[in-house]
Structure 1
Amino acid sequence: MGKTVLASLLAQPYLQETIKLKQKQDSVLARLTEHIKKGKALDLQINDNGILWVKGRLWVPDIDNLRQEVMCEAHKSKFSVHPGSTKMYMDLKKNFWWSGMKKDVREFVSRCLVTLIMAYHPQSDGQTKRTIQTLEDMLRACALEFNSNWSEHLPLIEFAYNNSYHNNIGMVPYEALYGRKCWSPLYWDEVGEKAITGPELI
């Protein structure tokens, strides 16, 4: 008689909750709230919980290296696998905002040794060659970053590739195919606990 194992993952949107808590500690929030009340900041909104949003994106305060933490999650996690600065910026700007974000992302990626190693390869022409090169770079990044066999990370490579911005289609492939964003630890739309079981995990 075979055994059946039911696994459950309980996850909370840690990064978003941390940002919301840090917003309340930042002195800039009070000044921005006054601008909103005076009608001087039309792009800013504060929701019922006192959370600041800029053009529908979560404002990340410049406190306790929080912006660095957001960029680290967007760049080095097993769900993103070292995207270049353009892809990383396009992924981040959908959900987060801070002044100078594009410059910060470009500088962050330029300091990443794994990304620098991946960046050198001969120019190729044709979409297939570019796709293959991107996948090879992602596999190489996994092997370098996570110190293990690249084949163990194939599902994560697929996830990261299908959930990062692509210039040629102007969007994320997952969104193009399913018409909605895919949940990842970097950004969850709903606050609270989620129980994910089975193959729906990724």
Structure 2
Amino acid sequence: MRERLKQGKKSNFSVRADGVMVNGERVGVPDVDGLRKKILQEAHNAPYAMHPGTTKMYRNLKPYYWWQTMKKDVAEFVAKCMTCQQVKAEHQAPAGKLRPLSIPEWKWKKITMDFVVGLPRTLRKHDAIWVIVDRLTKSAHFLPIRLGDSLDKLAELYVSEIVKLHGVPVSIVSDRDPRFTSRFWGSLQGALGTKLHFSTAFHPQTDGQSERTIQTLEDMMRACIMEFKGNWDDHLPLMEFAYNNSFHSSIDMAPYEALYGRRCRSPVCWDIEGLRQLEGPELVQETVEKIQIVKKCLKAAQDRQKSYVDKHHREMEYEVGDKVFLKVSPWKGILRFGKQGKLSPRYIGPYEIIERIGPLAYRLALPVELSQIHDVFHVSMLRRYRSDPSHVIHEPEVEISEQLTYMEEPAEILDRSVRKLRNKEIPMVKVRWTHHSPREATWEVEEHMREKYPYLFQ
């Protein structure tokens, strides 16, 4: 620009007496002594700026400064900001297109399993349910258990309730529950000739079938307890029957119909005087035909689901050697007006990718502090790290759990107040949490804090 002015060419800029180029109030910034970078740092990192995004930062600078690559430099600076990469949400479609599991060839050949925990203890001392679902017919078994049951007892229950009725499955899909990842369970299934497939860390969609079945089961349990009272395990056999004998949209029939060739009789069939009797060969033929129908329905359902999900997801691939951030979640142990850990970082890292596992998962080189966490993650848990020579990498100052969460404990009470509602008053306390400054303190209900953290009030 200065050369254009020397040559007498037309320009909106002029040179002041002190040699600075100006256009109205805008100052032309030369690329000397890191001046441009200092301006960018001040406009982004300063306390009065608070890490604005690309558009906001550019519009803040535009009235006062100019250089030819200013907009591009602002975008690059914001994209490489270490703090922004760790704390800001990604406003774009989640990474990873849907990859449905293959459709099994026959009934109870490939199954999924999971646990429903956190249930009230019954008179029989049951406090959990083992949910086992066939991936083809969608038929399920709901087995009441105790969380403290030994693996030997679970193995006996598995053989007596599943293997006895359906034989030995070829494969089992489950999450990384310690019961399923134990050496005993792996040895048992290995001896039976069953392959174990675990979901990637913190990606429950891998076993979406069990998750969806559990959701249905929990809804049935709530309704059942409200209607019939008593212990939930008293009603569990009828819940299992109701689930298996009810229409399932993905197979376009009831699970029992896919499993046995027809639905089982229930009191709803009171107006039917009798069922048509089928001879042996005819029954076999009808059952085989049902399975073919189920496979076609499952394929159609998978295609429909993939089409929908892929519209809202994007392809994302990384190479071995790339560095990425890992998504984590805070957990305070109490609900803060429906939100948890609002002031905590969203990502930790960066960590190097050391191996690609299939089309959508990657193995990371995690530090010793995270050795208790499984090191393979779905692509949706990762965020690309944009490096910069100015970055100083620190290990996380908080202790990360196996669930990729970290516990925030209250450090002290700073103040007290009373929230006045229409008909009552609620005592509140202002709490400073560990890993946060007093400026980040939050107001909490005093009663909740006394129940959860009585030592704060001693």
TM-score, L = length of structure 2? 0.20
More helix by proportion, 1 or 2? 1
Q: Which has the higher contact order (CA 8 A, sep 6+)?
A: 1
Instruction: Flag the structure with higher strand content.
Output: 2
